[in-house]
Amino acid sequence: MANTTISMSKIRKIIRMYTNGRSIMSIAAQADTSRNTVKKYLASFKDSGFTFEEVDALNDKELEDFFGKSREMPPTGRMQSMLRCFPHVDKELKSTGVNRHILWAEYYKEFPEGYQYSQFCFYYTQWKARVNPTMHMDHKAGDKLYVDFAGQKLSITDKDTGEIITVEVFVAILGASQLTYVEAVGSQQKEDFITACENTLHYIGGVPDAIVPDNLKAAVTKSSRFEPTLNETFADFADHYGTTILPARAFRPRDKALVEGAVKIMYTRIYAPLRKVVYHSLKDLNEAIRVVLEEHNNRFLQGRNYSRRQQFDEIEREVLNPLPVLRYELKKQFHATVMKNGYVCLGPDKHYYSVPYRFIGRKIKLLYSSSSVEAFYHYERIAMHKRTRGLYLYTTEKDHLASTHQFVADWSKDKFLGWASSIHEDVRLYIHNIFDRKQHPEQAYKSCLGILGFSRKVGNERLIMACRRGLHYGVYNYKTIHMILEKKMDQYEESLFADELPMPSHDNIRGEDYYK
C-alpha cells in the first residue's frame, strides 16, 4: 500500500543516492520502491534545510519522527468525502440491525466514484482508532470475573397451559482463562442475580479478587464515575465470599468487553443448538445449557491448541481464593419504626426484636434471612438477632434496654429472695411468704421491691424488726411493713409480741370449757 512506511535504512539510501547526483528513476529502481515515494521523502528532505550528514547522524527513532509527516498522503477529494461520512456511520452503527455494509451501500450510492467496501471498512477502522482509541486489557489470573445478562432471552413453555414464558440469560466469564458460565434465571431481580453469581463461583470452584457487573439495579443502586453506590445485599454477598465489586462505568461497554463478546458467542453456541427444543422448566433448560456450555469451554480457542477449560486448569484454578464453608443466605428488607418500648416489629413474622433504646422513634431498616435478623440505621448495624417466627412474641437483648429497663427485665423470685437473704433471714422468710400467697410470681414483684427498698430509707435494722413483727402477725404485704415502720412499731420491746400473757381469772369470763 502506498501509505505504508518504508524502512529507515531505505530512506537513508535514498537520500545518499540523491546527494550523490543519482536520478529519481535510478534511485527508485535501486531502492525497489516507486518514484512517488522517492519524491515524497526527497521533498521532506529538501524542505528541512538539513544536509545528508546531519540527517544520517539521527538514529532510527529520530529519523522516523523527522519523516513522520511524510508517511501520510494528503487526503484526496474522494478521501475527504468519505471521512466526512464517518461520524454519521459511527452513530448509525449503534442502531439495531444496522451494519457496515448497509451504510457503505448508502455512501456508494451518494458517491459512485467512492471507495469499495473493503477499503471503506479499512479506513473506517483507522478513523475509529484515531478519534476513539481503545486500551488493550491484560487480564491477571484470578483477578476479575465479568458478569452480565444477555440482551436476547430464552423461553420455557408451561406444560399445562402452553404459555410461553421468557427467561433471562446470565453470562459470566473469567478474565484470564475466559472460562464461561451461563444460566437461565427467572428475572434480573436481586434474588436471581445474586443466586446466579453464587452458582458461578461454585461452578469455577473458587472466588476471584473482583466481580465486574453492569450498572443494573440488582448490583448498583446509584451509578457514578468515581464512587457508585452498591446494592447493600449484593455488597453483603461480596463480603461473605471475600471479594470486591467493581461496577463497569455507565455507557462504557468496553469496561466489560470480554463478557459482551462472550454473550455474542453464546448466541451461536448455546442459543442456536437449543432453539428447536421445547423446555417446560428452568431446571430442564439449565441442564441443556450445561451440556452445550461444557462443549464450548472444551473447544479449542481460535488459532490455538488449547481450550478455555485447559487454560483455566493450568493458570487460574490454583490462584482463585477458596470458597467459604457455607453458602450465602439471601436477605430481604423491611422498614419499620422503633416503638417507645425499644422494640421493632418485623412485619412478615409479626415478631418483636429489641434495639438499643437510643433509637426509639427512629425509622430503621431490617435485613432478614431464614436464620437471622439485622437492624440498620444510616448504614450502621445496630442490632442482630436469631430469627424467631413466634407471633406477637418478643426477642430481647439485655444490653439494648435502658438501665432502668434492664433492672426490671432481671426481676424474678430468686432475685428478690437473694436480695432479702443479703439483709437477714427474717426478711427472706417474709418475702418468701409473699410469693407463696400470689397466684403468679409477677404479682409479688412490686410488693417485694417496695419492702426491700425500705432498707435504703430506714436501714437494715429497722427493716429486719418490721419483717419480724410482720411474721408474728401473719400478714404478708407491703402495706403491713409500711404501717409498722410509719408507726414505729418496729421499735417496741420484743416482749410485747414475743408470747401472749395468761388469761386472768374472773366471774364474767366463761372459760374454754363453757363451749364444750
DSSP per residue over 304-322, as a string? Answer: SSSBHHHHIIIIIGGGSBP
207 bridge partner residues: 321
CB–CB of 411/445 below 8 Å? yes
Grid coordinates of 193: 442475580
111 and 165 fall within a common domain: no
Query: Do 214 and 191 form a contact (C-beta atoms < 8 A)?
Result: no
Which residues make beta-bridge pairs with 183? 170
CATH number, domain containing residue 239: 3.30.420.10
Say whether both 382 and 297 belong to one domain.
no
Q: Are residues 227 and 366 in the same domain?
A: no
Q: How far apart are CA 202 and CA 322, in angstroms?
A: 10
φ, ψ dihedrals at 368, nearest 5°: -130, 145
Together in a domain, 117 and 156: no
* Separation between Cα atoms, residue 471 and residue 475, nearest integer Å: 7
Which amino acid does the sequence have at 403? S
Residue 429 and residue 315: Cα distance in Å, rounded? 79
Domain boundary, last residue among 71, 90, 119: 71
Residues 359 and 282 placed together within one structural domain of the fold: no
Kindly list the distances between the CA atom of residue 437 and the CA atoms of 78, 443, 474, 480, in Å, as whole numbers in the listed order: 111, 10, 12, 15
Q: Are 388 and 351 in contact (CB under 8 A)?
A: yes
Q: Is residue 292 part of a domain?
A: yes
Other Cβ atoms within 10 Å of 477 Cβ, number: 16
Q: What is the pLDDT of residues 80-104, one digit of tens each?
A: 888 888 877 876 776 667 788 999 9
Q: Could you give the angle at which helices 425-436 and 442-457 cross, rounded to 10 degrees?
A: 150
Instruction: Quote the Cα angle for 205-211-214, to 5°.
Output: 135
Residue 60 lies in a domain: yes
**Residue 184 covered by a domain:** yes
- Sequence-separated (6 or more) residues with CB below 8 Å from residue 191: 330
Q: Which residues contact 483 (CB under 8 A, 6 or more apart)?
A: 489
The cell numbers describing 501, all together, are: 400473757
Residue numbers of the chain with a pLDDT score lower than 50:
1-2, 69-73, 133-136, 251, 253-255, 403-408, 495-501, 516
Q: What residue numbers bound the domain in which 45 lies?
A: 8-71
3-state class (DSSP) for residue 366: strand
Claim to verify: residue 376 and residue 480 sit in the same structural domain: no
Query: Mind giving me the DSSP string for 205-223?
Result: TSB-SEEE--S-TTTEEE-
Q: Which of 319, 346, 376 is the last residue of a domain?
A: 319
Q: Is residue 513 part of a domain?
A: no
- Residues contacting residue 465 through CB under 8 Å, at least 6 positions apart: 490, 491
| Domain assignment present for 59 | yes
Same domain membership, residue 251 and residue 153 = yes
Torsions phi, psi of 376, nearest 5? -125, 140
Q: Tell me, yes or no, whether 361 and 459 share the same domain.
A: no
Answer yes or no: are the C-beta atoms of 145 and 208 closer than 8 Å.
yes
* In a domain? residue 474: yes
Mark whether 170 and 270 lie in a shared domain: yes
Task: Count up the domains in the chain and report the number.
Answer: 5
* Contact assessment for residue 212 and residue 246, using Cβ atoms and an 8 Å cutoff: yes
The H helix count followed by the E strand count for the chain is: 21, 15
Apex 8 CA angle, 54 and 43, nearest 5 = 65
The answer to whether position 245 is within a domain reads: yes
Question: What is the pTM (predicted TM-score) of this model?
Answer: 0.48
Q: How far apart are CA 343 and CA 405, in angstroms?
A: 12
Decide the pairing of beta strands 144-149 and 210-212. parallel
Question: 66 and 81 in one domain?
Answer: no
> Where do the H-state alpha helices sit in 267-370?
272-274, 282-298, 308-311
Domain boundary among 269, 287, 319: 319
Q: How far, in Å, CA of 115 to CA of 112, rounded?
A: 8
pLDDT digits (tens, 9 = 90+) for 125-161: 877 766 554 444 556 778 888 888 888 889 988 888 8
Q: Is residue 504 part of a domain?
A: no
Q: Is the dihedral of CA 431, 434, 439, 444 positive or negative?
A: negative
Same domain, 288 and 173: yes
Q: Using CA atoms of 349, 354, 356, 360 in order, give the dihedral in degrees to the nearest 10.
A: 70
Based on the domain organization, do 252 and 275 belong to the same domain?
Answer: yes
Measured between alpha carbons, how far apart are the two ends of the chain, in Å? 145
DSSP states of 51-102: -HHHHHTS-HHHHHHHTGGGGSPPPPHHHHHHHHHHHHHHHHTTSTT--HHH
